[in-house]
Structure 1
């Protein structure tokens, strides 16, 4: 007879709850093994002859339960479908307190989850979503929080870090082994327990309001830890002040790991990072790198409250953890360094989420999660970026103070415990006396977002909403209900700008604009804070085009993004969009220029016929050559970041999109000088673009040089840059070498396999041969990333760089014949987007050619 644990959707019963864990773990780095004993305090609501806990890839040699005076040995049966261990007893374990003791062992794996090999002589854990069960038998669901006490034995020369402070350190086995006992933690879900063992060093700790902060790296990268440490020191007190709750975990360690699947992991008191998300040299790092490290560090520290102090009950509220940390990170970094204008980077993430959310294969922010494999697929742009954008939109509606008061109420009410989304909405509603539950649930419980059509007659603005689809064939499909859309309008008249707020509840509404006379222009998404697209009537769009300078940079970016989305949806002609791009010839803001470069790069990659490429490149050069003429290649002393980033946008446009020979030659000369030791030759914000430009046109000597640089470089951003450069060479012989780097050996780090694969598919020379080999050697590549399911999904998503209908049909047939259970959602989304991209190409290529033939006017 089938047992409930034979179902992969099995959930632990609520009648047995953990009250505490006490584990002793012996780590053998050379043998890549660990052995452990664990005592789990339990509270049973009813007598039971069976206890179930999670365990995967563990060898359990003994399990004994003590309840009162009785000790009972268990028979252990493993249930692989649900990754559980069923402990059966010959007599019922009585209701009340009990202690379960287990002895077990396992392997330090080469994948990137459980306890894995994170670098030479270095092991680390990654437990989210549900991989603590690969190191400890435990109740591995987020609703079962309990304190943890950990004791670890490791080689004497290894650093040992965990969630708590070290309480005692002693040497055993004649000094060959060091035993570290850590302080008991506050109640934690199992996914936040962490351990790092091996070759690491840290700069001296810094105390922040009594909290010691240290940032760790492998010894050769110790000098790169200072910036990440400074960020943590700056933002930790800001987060304490915002939440109104002191930091709860005693100390804060940050560790940069050479191999790491995601960007970072918010383990309580021990945050682990992919090195590129934590380590940098401020003298050579680009501003984008600094912003990224600041945002990631702050995101993980925000989790120490939102997720760690108050934890979701189950993975269907994962979005609540990640969306809040995403939004909070940008809010905190912006308050700390407003000159960085990080909300514009936030808008880039929001735009990517809108692209995904316009697909049939999207999902609501709060998606039903039946098992942990589905939880893994929920780590996407909808969860992080759309969720964060909706929170920002709600904060804008409630106001900053009332929103913060609601968050503080939520933190107090659910301290050290679990909560669900409606608990947050209830606290915000109580603090603000606004209908937050209605507003929030309308946005998080249904997929998609609205397209708001704005048309004006005099001072009457008519607003209509419908669901936005990127597929032209679905334009008439509507959800059962619309959205309550909180719009902020900006109206320009005679040099004066006013704002007006509207909550669009129904399908349509008419708004009388304040003031007298005819407005010069109306922007229906002020500050671009709303998660919706706007379609203006012809007169409204023309008015905005004439008054671009009056719009904020975020609004200009949103205008470009919305109009591009309308082209994809078949609601605008590509020629009209290129006309709009032409109006940005005098643009000075680097963030707007970045958006323009991105859109024109897509046109160059997908939509232009080979015969029309010279004309398109001429158009791009006409837009951006004056930009570079203004900034020049060399940074002046004290030059502001705005100029540096404007120069970088121009170089990317001219070198990577227009492929202009002059900038290409300049790039080669400057990069060679920089590599020879002249650091003034390449302004830090240009280095990534120059490496890409030089690689694309490079010869065999250049390929060898980049390969050598990759092998010896310590800085993780530069190392990754030199690695991906090997996938960018367009000479056929060198493109073949670039393919061999991935498929012919193990030189590409596991964490970079998906990025490298995507880079090969984006290379027009390598694409064909690599696509053929990828399908032919799929099983081998799949096996390589099998221990890193997030990377597996990214490999599938990289197929979105394919261009032709033939390639689309090959991808559809191949993925149908080779289904990947862990990437079902990624496959559906990738194929749907690729299908739309191919149809867009077929629909617009002739139109692009005709527009260019007219001289781009």
Structure 2
């Protein structure tokens, strides 16, 4: 069978050939087509090679272009970081606060500590400074005025502050070391040029001695100090942000607020605030860093025009431009303040302004993204400021008061005069609470905490700033009065919350003051660590407030108010001790048949540790309560027994109804066995205490002390105390708890 042949064209060159229809592989090519096919294959290979080379070249050019873009971006980022590091955007850190019902209606538990306002150092840091002596400078040389010029332009790039200070000194000419000038300066403050002048002439300086441990510098002079005025001029450079224990608190961004690590130290500084209390002003500039030294300050700061800079006084209405991106701001002169109340704030802050009824400008400063959460504080602060100004009568002496919501701040707040710094978590109101109807209890707790810290720092503008303690041993004068007024004013705003918290703190105080931890309110400090430990929420804040309340009850509310106003007016701009308080207050109490001096009554409660104790045991089977007084470490406390208080405004009829008794002292020699019967009468309970003949008056006073406290805890409607010694029943209430 013959195969069919098909005529076909070559697809490459068009030549014809024969193909066997049954055999696909049998292709017959014409003889002239062989050479043409080979040449065309060679052409295709060459064309393919050229196309591949062009593709490779295109890819190389694209890679070079992308690399160039990346390099340009990196160079531009580096240039921007060098020129404007303060414009870096850092992701906001979200702090989650776990607030529960316990924060609003806390249980009567001693395990919930009150929040400390000013305690800043951790236990490890306190241990570090435990042996640093609290050295006092000679009292024969007094700083009158500081002219302080600061350069903040190297804060971000070098973490350094350059400065010049000129200090006007008054010499009394009676120094035991007449050839020496001593002042405070920490190791991170590097002193350059030093010049001392007397009546326009230079005073020769032999040597310059630095005591690292005490953080004191001593200048040995060629000539003795004379009576008159001296000018001490110094150039210095301060290294800041080396650790969290200095006076400058730096914020670098996320992750370094509480536990700064070496990994975060390379991050640029975004902002800083200062906290110089109690003895950290010496870590910022050379000065006389003790509470008894008050001086005025003129401050000038060179800084970037894109950065907000604040200090105690208001800026003048002009800023002198130095270069394109820097300005020099001069501030008004401050009133006399101690060095630890000097303050600075540096950062990209925005402001929210409010005006008080006293024409004082109140400004809230916060990061732009935080300012929306400051509305509650901005609305509450002017109201409380006006209430305090009305109560104390003494006008606020500055033209402004700034509140700064600071990042990376170690305490809830610090009362620097005119520039109050708050920890932002304690000052800004969480928007999640405001917008969630199911979190009304948490919102109430948050608002109450903000009100407390704002009121505390505002009261300090008078107690602590206007009138300052002259020694750290008198801290109770500042913190005790402040804590008392915080409780007193907030009771008017939130009576349930404030009263509940007061009793909780009181029970905690009783527990602490009757344990091995008990300490007196007034004591001498030998080291800086002891001063740090003194800012104790129980032994200082709570006990101080209780002692102030006891003073009010002993002299009456009206006499107390007049005494406080007299104290502030007489001692304004001074550093004082508690003797100034006794001079301003009424000399005698209005309790008891005998005229007791207020000073003699209160002093034992300040100098003695602990307090009178009564052991209370209850027998539910027999319905009795047993009270036995404990020895009180040989301490003596004056305690009053009476059925009421004149309160300084009682009428003649009410006074006649008050049974006066003699003031007695608590001793460790008394013994008492008393029995307290109680019974239910409807919805209330009535408590009756029977004292035997061995019961002394002082013991009965302690009994009434605890019965009154217990009655409030159990809601007794009536409390009767029977004295079998006199054969008559009379109610005995210690004025200490008269109106709790």
Query: What TM-score, normalized to structure 1?
Result: 0.55
Is residue 521 of structure 1 aligned with residue 678 of structure 2? Answer: no
1:87 corresponding residue in structure 2: 219
What CA deviation, in whole Å up to 9, does each residue of 1:517-559 have, x standing for no partner? x9931599xxxxxxx9977999x89x969x945459xx9xxxx
Identify the match of residue 290 of structure 2 among 121, 141, 151: 141
**Pair 1:360-2:516 in alignment:** yes
Q: 1: distance between equivalents of 2:483 and 2:587?
A: 24
Matching of residue 385 in structure 1 with residue 537 in structure 2: no
Which of 365, 375, 398 is the equivalent residue of 1:226? 375
CA-CA distance at 1:357 after TM superposition: 1.9
Name the residue aligned to 1:49.
Answer: 179
Q: Which residue pairs with 2:191 in the alignment? A: 60
Q: Between Structure 1 and Structure 2, whose CA radius of gyration is higher?
A: 2
Is the Cα–Cα contact under 8 Å of residues 489 and 523 in structure 1 kept in the other structure?
A: no
Give the superposition deviation at 1:233. Answer: 0.5
Aligned partner of 2:587 in structure 1 is 430
* Matches of 1:194 and 1:260, distance apart in 2: 13
The question of whether the paired residues in 2 share the 8 Å contact of 1:453 and 1:537 is answered with: no
Deviations 1:805-853 (A, max 9, x none): xxxxxxxxxxxxxxxxxxxxxxxxxxxxxxxxxxxxxxxxxxxxxxxxx
Q: Does 1:158 align with 2:158?
A: no
Distance 1:500 1:203, change over 3 A: farther
Distance 2:705 2:180 in 1: 67
- Do the aligned partners of residues 420 and 462 (structure 1) sit closer, same or farther apart at CA in structure 2, a change above 3 Å counting? farther
Query: Is the contact between residue 206 and residue 213 of structure 1 (CA under 8 Å) also seen in structure 2?
Result: yes
The verdict on how the C-alpha distance between 1:251 and 1:486 changes in structure 2, with shifts beyond 3 A counting, is: farther
What's the CA shift for 1:396? 2.4
Q: Which has the higher helix share?
A: 1
Between the aligned partners of 2:521 and 2:530, the Cα distance in structure 1 is: 14
Residue 505 (str. 1) matches residue 629 (str. 2): no
Q: Residue 729 of structure 1 aligns with which residue?
A: none
1:402–1:452 CA distance, 2 compared to 1 (3 A): farther
The Cα shift of 1:152 comes to 1.4
Matching residue of 1:302: 459
Indicate whether 1:283 and 2:440 are aligned: no
Do the aligned partners of residues 445 and 225 (structure 1) sit closer, same or farther apart at CA in structure 2, a change above 3 Å counting?
A: same
Counterpart Cα distance in 1 of 2:348 and 2:190: 27
Change in Cα spacing, 1:299 to 1:20, as seen in structure 2 (3 Å) is same
- Kindly state the Cα deviation for residue 348 of structure 1 after the two structures are TM-superposed: 2.2
Partner secondary structure for residue 395 of structure 1: helix
RMSD: 3.6
Partner of 2:231: 99
Contact 1:166 1:182 survives alignment (8 Å): yes
Matched, 1:254 2:403: yes
1:674-823 aligned within 5 A: none
Equivalent residues in 2 for 1:297-446 (5 A)?
297-335=454-492, 337-380=493-536, 381-430=538-587, 435-446=597-608
Q: Deviations over 1:504-528 (max 9, x none)?
A: 53446999x9xxxx9931599xxxx
Q: Is the 1:64–1:102 contact (alpha carbons within 8 Å) kept by the matching residues of 2?
A: yes
Alignment partners' CA distance in 2, 1:501 and 1:153: 67
Per-residue CA shift, 1:51-88, capped at 9, x if unaligned?
Answer: 00000021001111111131135332211121111112
Q: Which runs of 5+ in 2 are unaligned?
A: 1-130, 254-269, 436-441, 591-595, 619-623, 645-656, 691-699, 720-740
Give the drift of 1:372.
Answer: 2.9
Q: CA 1:423/1:345 → structure 2, altered by over 3 Å: closer, same or farther?
A: same
Question: Does residue 13 of structure 1 match 2:174?
Answer: no
Q: Distance in 1 between matches of 2:617 and 2:515?
A: 26
Distance (Å, rounded) in 2 between the aligned partners of 1:520 and 1:361:
35
Q: CA deviation at 1:128?
A: 0.2
Cα deviation code 1:567-593 (max 9, x no counterpart): xxxxxxxxxxxxxxxxxxxxxxxxxxx
SS of the residue corresponding to residue 316 of structure 2 reads strand
Q: Alpha carbons of 1:400 and 1:276: their partners in 2 closer, same or farther (altered >3 Å)?
A: farther
Secondary structure, aligned partner of 2:365? strand
In structure 2, relative to structure 1, the CA distance for the partners of 1:291 and 1:52 (3 Å cut) is same
Instruction: Tell whether the 8 Å contact from 2:555 to 2:588 is kept in structure 1 after alignment.
Output: no
Deviation string 1:137-170 (CA, Å, 9 cap, x unpaired) is: 1110000111111111222111111100101442
Tell me, yes or no, if the aligned pair for 1:76 and 1:87 is still in contact at 8 Å: yes
State how far apart, in whole Å, the 2-side matches of 1:308 and 1:234 are.
20
Would the aligned equivalents of 1:154 and 1:179 in 2 still touch at CA under 8 Å?
yes
2:423 is aligned to 274
Structure 1 CA distance, aligned partners of 2:562 and 2:248? 40
Report the Cα offset of residue 330 of structure 1.
Answer: 1.4
Q: Which has the higher strand share?
A: 2
**What is the CA–CA distance in structure 2 between the aligned matches of 1:103 and 1:80, rounded to whole Å?**
19
Please name the residue that 1:618 is paired with: none
Task: Specify whether residues 326 and 544 from structure 1 end up closer, same or farther in structure 2 by C-alpha distance, changes over 3 A only.
Answer: closer
- Structure 1 unaligned residues grouped into runs of 5+: 1-5, 468-476, 491-497, 525-531, 556-857
SS in structure 2 of the partner of residue 91 of structure 1: coil
* Aligned counterparts of 1:408 and 1:38: Cα–Cα separation in 2: 36
Residue of structure 2 in register with 1:40 after alignment: 167
In structure 1, what is the Cα distance between the partners aligned to 2:496 and 2:686?
31
Q: Give the deviation of 1:359 after TM superposition.
A: 2.4
- Contact residue 61 and residue 104 of structure 1 kept, 8 A: yes
**Pairs aligned (count):** 513
Q: In structure 1, how many angstroms separate the alpha carbons of the residues matched to 2:347 and 2:357?
A: 26
Relative to 1, partners in 2 of residues 1:11 and 1:537: Cα closer, same or farther, differing over 3 Å?
Answer: closer
The counterpart of 2:149, out of the listed 24, 29, 40, is 24
Q: Distance in 1 between matches of 2:614 and 2:552?
A: 21
Map of 1:835-846 to 2, 5 A cutoff? none
2:363 maps to 1:203? no
Q: Is the 8 A contact 2:356 2:386 kept in 1?
A: no
Q: Report the alpha carbon displacement of residue 182 of structure 1 after superposing the two structures with TM.
A: 1.0
CA distance in structure 2 between the aligned counterparts of 1:137 and 1:100, rounded to whole angstroms:
11
Q: Give per-residue Cα distances to partners, 1:185-218, cap 9 Å, x unaligned.
A: 1110111000001121121332431100011112
Distance 1:155 1:352, change over 3 A: farther
Deviation by residue 1:297-353 (Cα, 9 ceiling, x = unmatched) = 111111111111111011000121111111111112223x14454132123223333
Shift of 1:361: 3.5
Q: Name the CA shift for 1:455/1:134 in 2 (closer, same or farther; >3 Å).
A: closer
> Judging changes above 3 Å, is the alpha-carbon distance between structure 1 residues 293 and 217 closer, same or farther for their aligned structure 2 residues?
same
- Alpha-carbon distance in 1 for matches of 2:605, 2:705: 26
State how far apart, in whole Å, the 1-side matches of 2:688 and 2:410 are.
Answer: 45
- Counterpart CA distance in 1 for 2:245 and 2:447 is 26
Residues 308, 167 of structure 1: alpha-carbon distance in 2 compared, 3 angstrom cutoff: same
**Structure 2 CA distance for partners of 1:443 and 1:171, relative to 1, 3 Å:** same
Secondary structure in 1 matching 2:613: strand
Please state how far the C-alpha of 1:133 moved relative to its aligned partner: 0.5
SS at match of 1:374: helix
Contact 2:293 2:338 in 1 (8 A): yes
Task: Rate the CA distance shift 1:316–1:198 in 2: closer, same or farther, 3 A.
Answer: same
> What secondary structure does 1:362 align onto?
coil
**1:364 and 1:445 in contact (8 A); partners too:** yes
Quote the residue 1:479 is aligned against.
633
Contact 1:451 1:533 in 2 (8 A): no
2:647 — aligned with what? none
Kept in 1: contact 2:322–2:328 (CA 8 A) = no
Alpha-carbon distance in structure 2 between the residues aligned to 1:449 and 1:387:
13
Deviations 1:757-777 (A, max 9, x none): xxxxxxxxxxxxxxxxxxxxx
Residue 183 of structure 1 aligns with which residue? 332
* Normalised TM-score (structure 2): 0.64
